[in-house]
Amino acid sequence: MDMGELTGKAALVTGGSRGLGAATALALADAGADVAVNYVKRRDKAEEVVEKIKAKGRCAIAIQADCTDESAVKDMVNQVKSEFGEIRILMNNSGVLTQMLLQDMSLDDWENIMASHLRSTFLVSRECLRQSMLSLRPMNGERRAAKIINMSSGIGQKGGIGGSTIVHYVTAKAGIIGFTKALAGALAPLITVNAVSPGTHPTDILGDLSEEWKQEKEKELLLGFGTVEDVADSVVFIASPKADYYTGQVLQPNGGDVMNG
């Protein structure tokens, strides 16, 4: 991506202290955005990302907030506005992963994954719209005023044997795609809503999955495991004016793991 195409725009990345979120925050900064890095527990990791962003000449802050908590989300969005002004890019990335068979799953196990992915995406999107995005107009002659980008997963489109021990996670990620498509219809034409649906990438979230699962998964991938940068580049593209004609879409940096039109 060209340097500077997001200059003057503030971005909020939830779950931005590690993995795909950290890579996305850095890539958005490379493109010129000022970035708020949300985290829940690891302030040290979030601060590492912030320092790397500042080294690129961009503004950055680390903000602690549980994105499943309505009050915390309100405070987080208000703080981002106070620091950076209006939020024009939202990357809903926060979420956790656990592994178990459905028959062994407690209601709390199920609800925790639904909250981590779906409740958080709803709450942060709603608050950014209420406090910031709905009042915006396009900058610099662009066609869109703001971009909402949601992190789904290829497994949410594919399911099958690869999802047999993560049924709750697959369900949540499929729900994010539905949320994306419906919200895109509600917010057009000034705000676009798209999803990124990665394949399997070597991040620390995979530490919760067995080595056997990872070995079998890699056999399914035409191009092998991807990098976090593969995903981050897709996010930056959607956030940029080059993607102003994309909405309700699911970009799939997954190495051919999921093929659909």
Rounded to whole angstroms, the Cα distance separating 184 from 212 reads 38
Band of residue 163 on the pLDDT scale cut at 50, 70, 90: confident
CATH at residue 187: 3.40.50.720
Residue 256 lies in a domain: no
pLDDT at 142 over 90: yes
Q: For the whole model, what pTM was predicted?
A: 0.92
Residue 257 lies in a domain: no
Please identify every residue annotated as catalytic: 169
22 is in which domain, residue-wise?
Answer: 10-251
Closest CA to 180 of 147, 208, 202, 158: 147
Rounded to whole angstroms, the Cα distance separating 24 from 53 reads 11
| Cα 21 versus chain centre, distance | 7
Residue 127 lies in a domain: yes
> How many domains, the chain?
1
Residue 2 lies in a domain: no
123-135 pLDDT per residue, tens: 999 999 999 999 9
Residue 227 lies in a domain: yes
Residue 4 lies in a domain: no
Residue 126 lies in a domain: yes
